[in-house]
Chain A
Amino acid sequence: MSDSHSIVLEFDSVTKWYGSVAALLDVSFQVGNEVVGLVGKNGVGKSTLMKLAVGLLDPSQGAVRVCGSDATTRESRARIGFCPDFDRLYEPISGVTFVAWMLRYHGVAGRAATERAEEVLTELGLAENMHRPIREYSKGMRQRVRLGQALSHRPQFVLLDEPMTGLDPVARAELADLIRGLPQRGVGVLVSSHVLHELEAVVDRVVLVHQGRLLADGKVDTLRDQLPERPHRLRLKGARLRELASQLTAWPEVDGVSFLRDGLEISLSGHGAFYERFSDLASDWQGGVHELIPLDDDLAAVFGYLVE
Chain B
Amino acid sequence: MSIAHHYRPLDCERVSGFQRIWPLARQEMLGLFRTRWGVALYLVCLFPALGRLVMLLIMFGVVQIGPRSLQNRMASNMPASMDELNPARAAFYFESVLSTMPGMIFFLLLTSVVVSRCVARDRATNALELYWTRGISPWGYVFGKWLGGFLLAASMTVGMPLLLWISACFLAEDWTLMTDTIGQFSIGLLGIAFMTAIWTAIGTLISAIASSANLAMVAWSMLIVGSSAAGFVVSRVLDEDSLRSCLSFWEAGRVVVRSMADLPQRDVSVSGAFLMLGSLFGGLLLLVRRRMRVVEALR
Confirm or deny: A6 has a beta carbon within 8 angstroms of a beta carbon on chain B: yes
Q: For B30, give the chain A residue with the smallest CB separation.
A: A93
Partner of A92, one of B15, B31, B134: B31
Q: Which residues of B have CB within 8 Å of A58?
A: 296-297
A156 partner residues in chain B, CB cutoff 8 A: 1, 3, 9
- List A contacts of B3 (CB < 8 A): 156, 185-186
Task: Give the number of residue pairs across the A-B interface with Cβ within 8 Å.
Answer: 107
From A77-85, A210-218, A259-267, A278-286, the one touching the partner chain is A77-85
A25 located at the interface, meaning its Cβ lies under 8 Å from any Cβ of chain B in the complex: no
For chain B, the bracket of interface size reads 35 or more
B residues with a Cβ closer than 8 A to A are: 1-4, 6-10, 12-15, 19-20, 23, 27, 31, 34-35, 125-127, 129-136, 294-299
* B-chain residues with CB within 8 Å of residue A102 when the two chains form the complex: 130, 134
The complex places the Cα of A106 from the Cα of B127 at a distance, in Å, of 17
Q: Please choose the segment from A36-44, A49-57, A194-202, A233-241 that sits at the chain B interface, where 4 or more of its residues have CB less than 8 A away.
A: A49-57
- Pick from A77, A82, A86, A154: contact of B10, CB below 8 A: A154
How many residues on chain A are close to B (CB under 8 Å)? 43
Tell me whether A88 and B125 are in contact (CB under 8 A).
yes
**With a CB–CB cut-off of 8 A, which chain B residues contact A88?**
125, 127
Closest A-B pairs by Cβ, 8 of them? A186-B3, A86-B126, A92-B34, A107-B15, A105-B134, A107-B13, A107-B12, A154-B10
B1: which of A33, A72, A77, A80 is its contact (CB, 8 Å)? A33
Tell whether A90 pairs with B12 under 8 Å between CB atoms, given A33-B1, A33-B2, A105-B135: no
Residues in B whose Cβ lies below 8 Å from that of A119:
6
> A123 CA to B12 CA in the complex, in Å?
20
A5, CB-defined interface residue at 8 Å:
yes
In the complex, chain B residues whose CB is within 8 Å of the CB of A168: none
Compute how far the CA of A123 lies from the CA of B6 in the bound complex, rounded to whole angstroms: 10
How far apart sit A86 and B131, CA to CA, in the bound complex (Å)?
Answer: 12
Task: For the complex, give the distance between the alpha carbons of A149 and B10 in Å.
Answer: 14
- By a CB distance below 8 angstroms, the chain B residues around A153 are 10, 12
Cβ of A56 and Cβ of B297 under 8 Å apart?
A: yes
A77: chain B residues within 8 A (beta carbon): 133-135
Bound form: Cα–Cα A106–B295 in Å: 20
